[in-house]
Amino acid sequence: MIYDDFKRNHVILPGRENALIEFLNQDYKGMQHKLKHICNSHSEDALTWSCFDILANLPQKKKIFVLNRMFEDAYQDKSRIQIQDGQNESDQIEIYIGKQYTGLSSKESTEVDVSIEMPGVLVFIEAKLYNALSLASPPEKPHDQIARKLRIGLDSPLRDSREFFFIFLDIAPVDKLTKRMKKEEALSSSGGFHNKWKSAWWFKYYKYGRNNSLRPLSEELEGIEVFPMSVCSIADNMGWLTWSDLFKNILQGMISE
């Protein structure tokens, strides 16, 4: 659906109108790509803003509640991120939507859909709705979206003091999306939805490797100093989250005491 007013397409907290306008007008490599689908109900940017701006502006206790549950879901209860309320450092949680990062050694840059910065931890979230993963297209784009986010996150100026985590946010569980459509289904589907399996396939390819080896991930990280993190730790820190889990976590946080 295409709305007449972009405000109809976003959840806007009182007082956050100017912040939304600034977000929508962000420039990345000379393009203001967020304006293209500003009124489209299928916009990834609109949904990302609506969820994470709410989360960023929740009272601290509720924000921590949501983040802890979000990390539990993304890592299947095996997350090493656990935020403790009542500590001074918990006040330093920063949630950014559309922040740009540049690697120290590679000088590669990217705009991250959502990033979370807090003491000892840096989280990049790649958010997808109906679009598929953007694959590599050498020489202009030597890395796909997952590899690029991993490379820049591990090479960011924050790497010396923070452990890096990567979460892929998509419409369904990773195992559900790996199933490819039949040819006739793909031809009748709209947009790139019939290619959604590629996002899940590449995520699992990097996280679990090939033939019991994490060589695919190692090869994508060539030229990036990942010390003190091992490739195995990097793979362990890759999580998958669904929009439905995120919605539930935010709603539960809003009504929590």
pLDDT tens digits for range 183-208 = 445 444 444 556 888 899 999 999 99
Measured between alpha carbons, how far is 255 from 53 in angstroms, rounded to an integer?
A: 17
42 lies in which domain range? 6-255
* Rounded percentage of the chain residues whose pLDDT exceeds 70: 91
Task: Establish if 1 belongs to a structural domain.
Answer: no
Measured between alpha carbons, how far is 177 from 215 in angstroms, rounded to an integer?
A: 23
Task: Establish if 228 belongs to a structural domain.
Answer: yes
**Which of 77-86, 103-112, 166-175, 225-234 is predicted least confidently?**
77-86
Choose among 65, 255, 237, 73: nearest CA to 162. Answer: 237
> DSSP secondary structure string, 63-126?
HHHHHHHHHHHHTTT--S--PPTTSGGGGG-EEEEEEEEE-TTT--EEEEEEEEEETTEEEEEE
Place of tokens 């920063």: 94
Domain count, the chain: 1
Task: Please say if the pLDDT value at position 58 is more than 70.
Answer: yes
Which amino acid would we find at residue 70?
A: M
The reported pLDDT for the residue numbered 65 is 95
- Give the pairing of strands 109-118 and 94-102: antiparallel
pLDDT tens digits for range 104-117 = 888 899 999 999 99
Strand order in the sheet with 109-118: 94-102, 109-118, 121-127, 163-170, 238-242
pTM, full prediction: 0.93
Give the confidence band of 60 by pLDDT, cuts at 50, 70, 90.
very high
8 Å CB contact between 226 and 166: no
